[in-house]
Structures are given as structure tokens and as C-alpha cells.
Structure 1
């Protein structure tokens, strides 16, 4: 029997065996012990944050201080492990294993696959922080980094400092690359690969729990422990998506204000925008992956590409191209020290910086990991492990670097060599000196066709909002319905509404700071699941590799025996003929 035939037979037997693993579904096709506990907890958070926004804000702030102070180092070590694991999977002996049946073609083309991956992964965040983050790291560098001659009397980046601030600006871009580059996508690889292998290779349902089957066993995965895992994944996914939606709607409000469409982009306006755009997302929800998400992702990828090219051509083009090449070099040079940096010698200021930036990002990406992991696993059928790792890890990272080099580089060029004005010099709060949701539109106000580009940016964020909400709803609904790849439409609509409600609740409880805290907190419990996923994935791949190698050795022996017998037969035949 050939290796592919044996593997196919094994998967068929596994799928038959799964007939006893049918989840306990209630009315409407949802899993009783996953759906209802998730809904109760999520609704409770929404009600409490909206009813007592001030107390909720104080509570979240206190928890953030404790979590960052205690677990900041843990997040750093965790992400390092994820990076090592992801790269190892791509270059290891397991790389040629197909996430599906042997020889099965990919479900989506490379362009469509990448568009959906990127739109679901971090689209809103790129538009929100594309201009602001490099500018903020330049103006308010990590404590202990030292601004030197580039600092004013308060330690912030000085106005119009020209070439003296070049080193600080270059550090700012490298720090941004750390937060948005390989580190972030390695987190997605861990969850996405574990799920894609379990779903497409082993025939398991689309559910986080089944990625841990090699460790926990089928009975525990099917029981209450599996329910707890999927419930935690739902809550983490919903809060992670809500964080992005909150950031996106703040930027949409700032854009509308810059165009004169509204007078004041306050929290009330943001909540209203969430309601309106969530309604649009609900329309996309009912069309599914093959139509709504795929179509919107392709449109937005083209729109983002056109916006990026326009900014490159209308800005200091040669400087931006040179800056991209140089920043990648500085990023590689500082990759190890910045990866391991925990601000240990920077005191309370360093700890606060770590919580507002690096720890926030690692928590944000981890809280998104169930959502993005399930989604990219769902759309990656037919890819080999090596293709999967390369596609998820390398290509989005390079595009992200290009995005920040063009947008952030334009802001830094204006601040260093142009008229400046992107930093509010009257404040000592870094998040008031550069307001992230306003930074893009302040930059565009001085660019030719800036009004048109501002409108394009608003449309981009809106579509990213819709695709994130739609994708998040699909993932959460698959988890809540026992792993069904086509879950009930009514519950997808309900989860889309809940995502908007959580985003509104967090905004009312403290805006950006509450959103940051929510991401950090929801990541902590799920990080333990991700550690288990790495070990479970390795065990599964190692077991399959041993089976494949044993099969190949047996087939080689059989082929050798056949060749020997054939040779002996031919030799005897020749001897007989000679006689």
C-alpha cells in the first residue's frame, strides 16, 4: 500500500471515528456549553462597562498595572518562543506535509488567500498606527534609549532638528517594525498551523479544542475541558476584534472631522459610528467567505495598494525608497536586542512604556490569535506547511514594512526636514502629543489631493472594520457551533452585533487605554493554550513523519526485493537461453 493511500485511509477512519464526537447542540445549531457561557460573560462585561464607565475604567487601569508589572517579561519570552517555533516549522522536515489530502490543490489562489489573510490580520491597525507610531517613537522614545541632542528640555524630540534626529528617527522605525513584523505573524502561525493540520489533515471540526487532541486525548477534548477552551477562545477573539473596531471607529471619526463632515469626533459619535458600520457588517455576514469576505478583501487590498502608491509618488519618493532599505537593515541589526528588551533598567517610566507599547502589542496579537488562526486555517486548505509559514510569516511582514516606511517615513521626513507641526508641543503626554487617530489626516492635509486621499483612507478603515467584524463573527460562530464550517447565520449576526457592543463599551470605559487593557488581559489565559498547541502540533507532525518514513522504508524494501527477484529471474532466463 502506498504512503498516500495509507494516509488517506487513516484520515477516512479518523473521520468515521469522529461520528461519536458530535457536540451537544441546542436549538439553533449552537453548542450549549460553549455558546451560552460565552454570551453571559460577554453581555455582563458590556452592561457593566456601559453602566459604570468611570469605575470600569479605573478597574481596567489597576489590572493593567498589575498585569504589565508582573507578566510583561512573560509576554516577551512567549513571543520569542513563538518566533522560534514558526521558523522551525517552515524549514524543518515537516515542511512538505500538505494541510489537506496529499496532492490536494489550494482552495484559494495566492492573491485571494493573501488578501483575506491581510485584511483579517491587522488591516485596521496598519491604517491607525501607520503614521502615528514611528512619529511617537521618534518624539517619545523608549525610556533609557536616550534622545541625546535630538531632545528638548523635557526629553521629547525637538522640533526641526534636521540630521541630528536621524538616529532617533531610524530607531523609531526599527521599533515599529519589531511590533508589526515577524513577531506578530509568528503568533498567528502557531494557532493557524495547529488548527489547519487538525482540520484539513486529520478531518477534525473547526474548533480550537481539536488542536490539543494529541495532548488531552479525544474524550477530554470532547468534554468540559474542550468547552472551556473554546469559550476562552470566543471571549479572547471577541475582545481582540472589538479592540480593533474601537481603534478603527475612532479614526473614522477623526477623518470625518478633518473633512468637515462632523463637528466633534467625541465618544458619542464613535459609538454611533460603531452602530452604523456594524449594521453594514451584518449585511456582509450573511454572504459567507466565498462572496462577502473574499470580495471585500480583494477590493480593500487594491484600494490600500493604490493609496500606498499615491503616497509614495506624492511624497519624498527617493527618500522613502532609501528609508525602506535602510530601515530593514537597522531592524535586522537590532532584532535580537529589541526582541529581548523588557525595560528592566528603565524604572517606572520604562514599565509604563512597555505596557503601552510592546506588552500591549503582544497581548493584542495573542488575543487576535484564535480569530486569525481559525480564519487562516479555514482558508489555507491545500497549502503545504512550508507554503503556509512562508505566506503567513514573510509576505505580510514585507508589505507591513513597506506600509510603515511610506506613511511613517513621510511623517518623519516632514518633522525632520519639513515644516513639522505633527506634534502637539503643549502636552507632556505622549498620546496627546501625537494623537494616533488624527495623525494620518494631519499628514494628508499637507499632501496634494489630500482631501481625496482622506476619503480613501476612511473607506479603507470602514471596509477593514466590516471584514474584521465579518471574519470575527464567522470564527466565533464556528467555535460556538461545535466546529461547523458553515455555522448558523442568525448567530453570526448576533456575534457581529456583540463585537460592536463590546467596542462601544470599552470606548465608554476609557477609550484607547481601555482598549489596550482589554487586549492585554484577554491574551493572558489564551497564551497557555498556545503553549500547549505548539507541543501538540509537534507531537502530531513527529508521529506522522515516523509513519511516512516507515512507509517509505517498507516501500523501498519491497521495491528492492522486486528488483532483486526480477534481476535473478532475468539472469536465470539468460542462462537458460544460452544452454
Structure 2
């Protein structure tokens, strides 16, 4: 059956995004000013919302995994997973944050080491690594997990449409197809588009920096970066129209192998012993500081600390939120047949462990080089990794591999985003029409190119601004999805059957206890005279007689 286009969701979203592009082209300074003012208001007045929500998602996901709901399958009873576990992990990791790890893998730990977070000491390896893991560990993957769970359960367990609005059926009922449901899907497309734009911008900046470091050009111009975006856009659109089983799975498996080769290379030729020592230090510091970092807000820091929170923690939480619609829907698409417990463990534990290893290898190498006097750039985030590789053997080969990885990571993530935006535009179609997928892919590339062009030297901040602004309304949507999912899970057939069985067992035990209490008066009472008379006829051990007497005496008391 040919997918049907939702004219309201597609039309309203397309018009607003195209209007945004026109605004940026016609009045660049006006768009920059509005973006800066809006971002300042959000981080000042609503930063607490991102901080509280992010921690809440972690607690909620863990609760679902360890509770009675963990055994519920995301599909029919006995249904087996569609993809092998290795491919499943590779796809969700590539779609989730692969390009971010390439961009920040060496930069963020070194940044926190040189310029410490609020109320922390500089040159502290423990603080630098714990802060990095806080931004890349359980919090982002918990966000992906709760949205993915809500969509997968609603779609494959309850048979609803593959839409974010369908998750709200416990509240809206049939009105999920009405105005409120369409607003939810429109917000999801907005968040997806601008989250993908942020990733595309980061990828283009890093590829341009790599071309400079390996000597292919002197300085990456704006036109070159726009050209890089055009090439990447064409690649991920081609991958998207080929479908998940072909394009995305193939690219994800390739990327996992190439990323492993790069990490092993840096581990072997870099400070191997230091990296090995850094692993337990980072894990222990992250787990120890988890609660304190989760509670850090503008109330406990000065103005410089507020700027740090806005540029790091709040940006990350907003960026992850902006990725949740398409990563969550993508995770739902590839996780049919798995249980809630398996899903949460796979989505939270495995990628967090990979992030731990990745940051210890690349961040540890950067910190070690810096402490030994190497000059590694922190002014331009996109240069840091290439500066680290410049102090290792085979620099040109390793740098070329980085650029290839960035490109493939982005393609494997952005094609997922294009499919999801197409699906949301066509009433949750499992395989959206090619022209709709191509439209959203091209529009994403256009917005990214425009933001790079109008932001100039401050391109990274301009991209971050739009990601945070677009993510704000979707935080509220995610909170509502958690509540709706919990209401659905309480009525799941497995849970209802379990509760009924538990009630029957409790009633049976209560009934048996009542019968024992009622019949207790029929038991004969043994007196001390009877014990003495019995001992004369049939003598027993002294211990047994003593036990009997003590029982009788305690009863008489």
C-alpha cells in the first residue's frame, strides 16, 4: 500500500523551515541576533528543565529495566529480533552519536583538563574524564532509550501507528490524529532536522580541518564547507532511499570496523600504559561524581560557571533531546522482538562502555601529550584530534581515516533522520516515499549550509544555538511520552496476568492461614504431668525432655 502524505504535518513543517532558510539568506544579522537572545533566555530561565529532565530519564529507564516491566517484549509473544545483536549494536551506535565522538573524542577531555569546569581544579585528569563521561554516558542514551521504548511498545506491542503522537493514546485516545497529535509530530520533525543540522555542521568543520592538516589546502573556505555539506547530503540521501537493511546496516558495520582500527592504532602507538591506568580512574570518577554533576545548575555557580553550563551541559542535553525523535524511532525500528530489559541494557550500557573506551584512548592521549609539552589546539574544536594524530606515526593515513569515518558516521546517522522525517510526514509509514525522504534530506543540507554561511567564524556556536532552541519544546513531549508509556505498561497483558496470579496466591495463603488459626484450638495441650508420666513409660534424651518442658512453661506464661 502506497504511504499517504499528511498534508498538515508535512506542509506546515516544510513552510516554516523554508521560511527560516529565506530569513537567514535575506536578513543574516537579524537571525543571528534573535538566535543569540533566544538561546540566552533559554539557558538562563529554563536550564533547570533540561537538567532535571535528563536525570529523570536515566532513573525512569533504569526502573523499567529492573522492575517487573523488564520482561515485556517489544512485539508479539515469541517474536524473534529482526537483526543480529552485533549489527543491532553497530546500527544504534552509529545513529546515536558516532560523529560527536569523532569531533569531541580528544577535544572535550583536554578542554576540561586545561579549563576546569565550575568549582573544579584545572590539570585534574580525574575531573576532566568524569565530566566528559557525564556528558556522554548514561544521560544521552537514557533519553534515546525512553523515546525508543515508547515508540516500539506502542507500535509493535499495541499495534498503533509508528508515530510519536501515537504514544499519547492513553491521554488523547482517537484524538492522536487530531491537531494535538499533529503538533507533536511537527515538533519531532523540527527537533530531528536541527539536531541533524548540528551534526552535519560539525562533520563539515572537521573534514575541512582535516584537509588543511594533511596539506590538501591552506584554509577551508566557507564555499568549501558548503561543498562538503552538499557531497555528504547527496551521500546520505542515496543511503536513505536504499532502506535500513541495505544502506544503513552496511554503512554501520563498515564504520564499526574502521573506528575499531583507528582506536587500536592510537592505543598501540600512543601512551598505552597511561590509557590502561585511565580506564579504572575514569569509571570510578564518573560513578562517584554522577550525583553531584547531575545536580549542578546555575544556582551553584557564578556567571562564568553559567556560561560553562550553557556551552557544555545544557548544550549537550539539548543536542541529545533534538536527536531523540529520529534516534528513538530508528531504535524502535531495529529493536522489534527484544524485551524492555534487553533494550535498556543494550541502549544504555553497551554504548556507554564504548564511549568510556573511546574517550580514554583519544582523550587520554591528548591529555598525555599536553602534559608533556605538546601544542594542541583548543581554539578550534575541529582541529584537536588532528593535532593529536600529528604527534603520532602515520599522521596522513590516520587523518584521512578520521575524515572518512566522520563522513560515514554522518551519512549513517543522517539517512536515519531522513527516513524518520519522511515516516512522520506520511502517518508513520514504515517505508516512506522516496521523494519525501529526498525532500527532507536536501532541506537538512540546505539549512546546515546556510547556518555555516551566516555564522562565519563562529559557525559552531551558531549551529549549537539552533539545536538548543529546537529541542526546548520536545523536552516537554518526552516527559509526556514517559508518563504515557508507564500507563500503557501497567495494562500490559503480562503485567495484568502476573498481578492476577499474585492476587490469587495471596488469597490462597490468607485462606490457609485463616484455617490454621481456626483449627488451632483443636490441638491437644500437653501438661507437665503428662510429660513426666510419659518419661516413666518411654524414657527419652534429657535434651528432648528439657525442650518439651521449656515449651510447656512458655505456653503457661
TM-score, structure 2 length as denominator?
0.88
**5+ residue gaps in structure 1?**
1-21, 148-164, 424-432, 558-579
Q: 1:446 to 1:39 in 2, by over 3 A?
A: same
In structure 2, the residue matched to 1:439 is 384
In structure 2, the residue matched to 1:129 is 104
Picking from 499, 515, 518, the partner of 2:444 is: 499
Picking from 527, 536, 549, the partner of 2:475 is: 527
In structure 1, the residue matched to 2:521 is none
Q: How does 1:108-147 map to 2 (within 5 A)?
A: 108-147=83-122
Deviation string, structure 1 residues 141-162 (Cα, Å, up to 9, x no partner): 1233243xxxxxxxxxxxxxxx
In structure 2, the residue matched to 1:387 is 342
In structure 2, the residue matched to 1:77 is 52
> How many Å apart are 1:259 and its aligned residue?
1.2
Q: Is the CA contact 1:375–1:475 (under 8 Å) kept in the aligned structure 2?
A: yes
> How many Å apart are 1:51 and its aligned residue?
2.8
> How many Å apart are 1:553 and its aligned residue?
6.7
Secondary structure class of the residue paired with 1:286: helix
For residues 295 and 221 of structure 2, the distance between their equivalents in structure 1, rounded to whole angstroms, comes to 38
Picking from 79, 86, 99, the partner of 2:61 is: 86
In structure 2, the residue matched to 1:548 is 497
For residues 136 and 340 of structure 1, the distance between their equivalents in structure 2, rounded to whole angstroms, comes to 21
Q: Is the CA contact 1:124–1:248 (under 8 Å) kept in the aligned structure 2?
A: yes
Q: How does 1:88-487 map to 2 (within 5 A)?
A: 88-147=63-122, 165=123, 168-217=124-173, 219-416=174-371, 418-423=372-377, 433-487=378-432
> How many Å apart are 1:216 and its aligned residue?
1.7
In structure 2, the residue matched to 1:45 is 20
For residues 226 and 509 of structure 1, the distance between their equivalents in structure 2, rounded to whole angstroms, comes to 34
> How many Å apart are 1:57 and its aligned residue?
1.7
> How many Å apart are 1:296 and its aligned residue?
0.4
Q: 1:553 to 1:332 in 2, by over 3 A?
A: closer
For residues 63 and 451 of structure 2, the distance between their equivalents in structure 1, rounded to whole angstroms, comes to 38
For residues 501 and 352 of structure 1, the distance between their equivalents in structure 2, rounded to whole angstroms, comes to 30
In structure 1, the residue matched to 2:552 is none
For residues 254 and 348 of structure 2, the distance between their equivalents in structure 1, rounded to whole angstroms, comes to 23
Secondary structure class of the residue paired with 2:69: coil
Secondary structure class of the residue paired with 2:11: helix
> How many Å apart are 1:366 and its aligned residue?
0.5
Deviation string, structure 1 residues 250-276 (Cα, Å, up to 9, x no partner): 101100111122221132221111012
> How many Å apart are 1:550 and its aligned residue?
5.5
Deviation string, structure 1 residues 102-155 (Cα, Å, up to 9, x no partner): 1111110111101110000001100000010111111111233243xxxxxxxx
For residues 518 and 335 of structure 1, the distance between their equivalents in structure 2, rounded to whole angstroms, comes to 28
TM-score, structure 1 length as denominator?
0.84
Matched, 1:513 2:461: yes
Deviation string, structure 1 residues 27-72 (Cα, Å, up to 9, x no partner): x831111111110111111221233223222221111111100011
Q: Is the CA contact 1:144–1:345 (under 8 Å) kept in the aligned structure 2?
A: no
Deviation string, structure 1 residues 416-460 (Cα, Å, up to 9, x no partner): 1x232014xxxxxxxxx4321000111111111111110110000
In structure 2, the residue matched to 1:62 is 37
Q: Is the CA contact 1:135–1:434 (under 8 Å) kept in the aligned structure 2?
A: no
Secondary structure class of the residue paired with 2:55: helix
> How many Å apart are 1:552 and its aligned residue?
4.8
For residues 146 and 283 of structure 1, the distance between their equivalents in structure 2, rounded to whole angstroms, comes to 48
Q: Is the CA contact 1:101–1:201 (under 8 Å) kept in the aligned structure 2?
A: yes
**Structure 1: 4+ residue segments shifted above 6 A:** 553-557
In structure 2, the residue matched to 1:562 is none
**5+ residue gaps in structure 2?**
507-557
RMSD over aligned CA atoms reads 1.9
For residues 49 and 352 of structure 1, the distance between their equivalents in structure 2, rounded to whole angstroms, comes to 26
Secondary structure class of the residue paired with 1:95: helix
For residues 390 and 196 of structure 1, the distance between their equivalents in structure 2, rounded to whole angstroms, comes to 15
Q: Is the CA contact 2:69–2:495 (under 8 Å) kept in the aligned structure 1?
A: no
For residues 272 and 446 of structure 2, the distance between their equivalents in structure 1, rounded to whole angstroms, comes to 42
Q: Is the CA contact 1:132–1:434 (under 8 Å) kept in the aligned structure 2?
A: no
For residues 352 and 78 of structure 1, the distance between their equivalents in structure 2, rounded to whole angstroms, comes to 20
For residues 41 and 201 of structure 2, the distance between their equivalents in structure 1, rounded to whole angstroms, comes to 24
Q: Is the CA contact 2:237–2:418 (under 8 Å) kept in the aligned structure 1?
A: no
Bigger-Rg structure (1/2): 2
For residues 52 and 484 of structure 2, the distance between their equivalents in structure 1, rounded to whole angstroms, comes to 19
